[in-house]
Chains A and B, each alone.
Chain A
Amino acid sequence: MSTEPLDRAIRDHYESQQPSPAMLERLRSATATAERGRRRPWRLLAAAAMVLATLSVVWWQLDRSGFSPPAPTTVVADSEELTQRVVAEVVKNHFKDVGLDFTTGSYDQLATAMTGLNFQVATPNTERMGALDLQGGRYCSLQGHIAAQLWLEDSAGRRATLYQTLVDPMLDELDGQEVEQDGVLVSFWVEDEVFFARALTGAHL
C-alpha cells in the first residue's frame, strides 16, 4: 500500500508548525552576541587602540577647556537592559507549564538528583522564601546558563517559581533587585555561589 497520502499529511502538519517570534528573536540576539565575541583578536586590539586614541584626544581637549564630565549614564543603561532581559526570561519561564523532571519536597533530594547541573541546588534562605513549599524541579536555562527551575506552592496551592544557576559577574550585578512585570514580582539575590531568581504572581503579592 502506498504511504504517500499519509506521509504528505505528516509533512503538511509539521511544515505548518512555526517557532514563536519571541524565541527566534532571543536566539537571533544570542547569535549576534556570539558573533561579536568571535571577531579576530587583532580587530579587537585595533578597535581598542582607536577608542583609546580618540578618548585621549577628547579628554585632553576637554581638560584644556575646564570641562567637568557628567555621570556615566551608559553603565546605568546597560544594567537596566540586563535586568529587563533576565526579568523577561524569568517571567516567560514562570508561565510555562512543561512538567517537572523531579518531584520532591526536599531541597537536599533535589540537589542529589539534579546531577546535570554545574552546581548543587541550594536550600534558599528561609526568610526570603516565606511559607512556600517545594514541589520539585526541572532543568531549564537562564541567559544561556544551565539552571534549575523549582516549583513552590503556598498553602492555597498557588505556584511560585524559583530559579538557581551558578552566579557569574553579569548576574551578580542583579543581586538585591526586585522588579514587577506582567503581574509577576521577580526578586534576585545571591547566596554563596548560587544566583537566585524568585517569581511570585499577583496572588502572592
Chain B
Amino acid sequence: MSDLDQLLARGYRYALSLTHDHARAEDLVQDAWLSILEREAPRHVGYFFRTIRNRFLDLEKRRRLVAVEPLDESVEVGVEPVSIDVEDVERGLGTLRALEREALYLSAVEGHTVAEVATLTDQPLGSVSSLIQRGRAKLRRFLSQERRHG
C-alpha cells in the first residue's frame, strides 16, 4: 500500500468515526482531499483530519443535526464484558454521538492523549475527557445489554 493510500485510508477511518456511515465517510474524504489538492495545501495527516472535520461540522450545521448534550462529569460506569463481539462494537458505536465516537477514535485508534485530542479538535480538555468517558460508558452499557440479551 502506497503512502498516499495509507493516508487516504486513515482519513476514511477518521471520517467513519464522525459519520458512522460508509458512503458519507467516503464523500467527506473525497471532498476534503479534492479541496486540499485544489488549494495546494499540505498533504499531511493533521491537516487532512482537520479538513475532514471542518467539512463534517459544516455539513452537520447545515443539517442542524449537531446534538448538544451537557458535559456531565458524573458518567455511569458499566461493567465491561469479558469477550467483545466485533459486530456488537459496530452497533454500539452507532449509538454514540459523533463527537463521542471521534474522541474515542482519536484516543483508542490514533493513540492520542486527552490533551492532544483537545488540541486537535479545538475543545477544552474537560470536554474531551467527558466525551471519552461518556463514550466508553455508553459503549460498555450497550455491550453489557447485548451480552445479557444474547
Contacts and interface: CB of A to CB of B under 8 A. Distances in A.
A170 to B, nearest CB: 14
Interface of B: 4-5, 8-9, 12-13, 16-17, 21, 23-27, 29-31, 33-34, 37-38, 40, 58-59, 62-63, 77, 80, 84, 86, 89-90, 93, 104-105, 107-109, 136, 139-140, 143
A78 B17 CA distance: 39
A30 B16 contact: no
A3 interface: yes
B109 A10 contact: yes
A96 B22 CA distance: 10
Given A6-B140, A19-B26, A144-B34, A14 B80 contact: no
A12 to B, nearest CB: 7
Nearest to B13: A14
Q: Which of A14, A15, A96 has the most CB of B within 10 A?
A: A14
B30 A27 contact: yes
B109 A14 contact: yes
B4 A31 contact: yes
Contact of A98 (B12, B27, B105): B27
B89 A9 contact: yes
A73 interface: no
A3 B24 CA distance: 29
Given A5-B84, A6-B136, A17-B16, A28 B109 contact: no
Nearest to B87: A13
A158 B31 CA distance: 28
Interface string A14-29: 1111111001101110
Contacts of A9: 84, 86, 89
B72 to A, nearest CB: 19
A29 to B, nearest CB: 11
A27 B16 contact: no
A24 B84 contact: no
A116 B140 CA distance: 39
Closest CB pairs A-B (n = 5): A19-B12, A7-B108, A34-B37, A9-B84, A10-B108
B77 A141 contact: no
